[in-house]
Structure 1
Amino acid sequence: MRTQPVLIYDGDCAFCTSSVIFAERHVRPSCEVTPWQFAEMESLGFAQERAEYELLWITPQGKIYGGVQAVAKMLLNAGGGWAVLGAMLTLPPLRWIAHGVYRLVANNRERMPGGTPACALPADRRPRNGTSTSDSLG
């Protein structure tokens, strides 16, 4: 059984990768961080289609949170002032507003700072450069 939560993101998306690197450096959640492309999808219990659509937070017990709720769980996990922000993201109406903002950003991630045109493509149509995104996370 896992002892830490797992944060799953799209490692082919430059904006997503930049966001996760920011979170690792500044938010410092206590979790395993991995791109879905290198994750054990079957053992973690998530589908590729969902991971392409949104950030995932998977608890050690296997409960999966997606999108802004994954962000909220990550912030709660980090503690301190981040936990206050995470708690706020779980409460209506802020939760609803945050969900709308998350979807707007996620649906336009190729236009965001650090994003590339490849971010807008389905995973099976993205160019591969032969490098591992996880190398840049260490």
Structure 2
Amino acid sequence: MKIQPVLVFDGDCGFCTTSVRFVERRVRPECEIVPWQFADLVALGVPQERAEYEVLWVTPAGTVYGGSQAVAKALLSAGPGWSVLGALLTLPPMRWAAHVVYRLIANNRHRLPGGTAACAVRESRPPGR
């Protein structure tokens, strides 16, 4: 049995849940997708504060990618068309632009369709930084 990466998202956020459902149907990344509220964060090596702050991609080896780079990793795992987009998101200056766009969306997800007050990110900076 192949151990897959894990994509961790905020299951309490309507916008995030809707986005993940789209990804499951259309993008089909090769990973397990789990809300952080039901994930074994300790086993994944991820503090809850980080899981609340950004989407995460955790490799089978335990490397954790967050935010736009987690999105890039999911796209890279998805197949020829999506993997090209994922690869572009890992290269400067696209990586920098992707980070800015990701933070803009993440910081305002409670204002987006499906978003609620529960979707609001508590901090504007990554935990522990």
Q: Residues 54 and 8 of structure 1: is their aligned pair in 2 closer, same or farther, counting only changes over 3 Å? A: same
Q: What is aligned with 2:125?
A: none
CA contact (8 A) 2:53 2:121 kept: no
TM normalised by structure 2 equals: 0.91
Q: What is aligned with 1:63?
A: 63
Q: What is aligned with 1:45?
A: 45
CA contact (8 A) 2:107 2:121 kept: no
SS in 2 for 1:33: strand
Structure 2: stretches of 5+ with no match in the other structure: 123-129
**Quick check: 1:100 aligned with 2:100?**
yes
Provide the alpha-carbon RMSD of the alignment: 1.4
**2: distance between equivalents of 1:41 and 1:2?**
20
**Quick check: 1:22 aligned with 2:17?**
no
Give the counterpart letter for 1:10 in structure 2: D
SS in 1 for 2:97: helix
How far the C-alpha of 1:117 sits from its partner, in A, is 2.1
Higher helix share: 1
Structure 1: stretches of 5+ with no match in the other structure: 123-138
Give the counterpart letter for 1:86 in structure 2: G
How many residues in Structure 1 have an aligned counterpart in Structure 2? 122
Identity %: 69
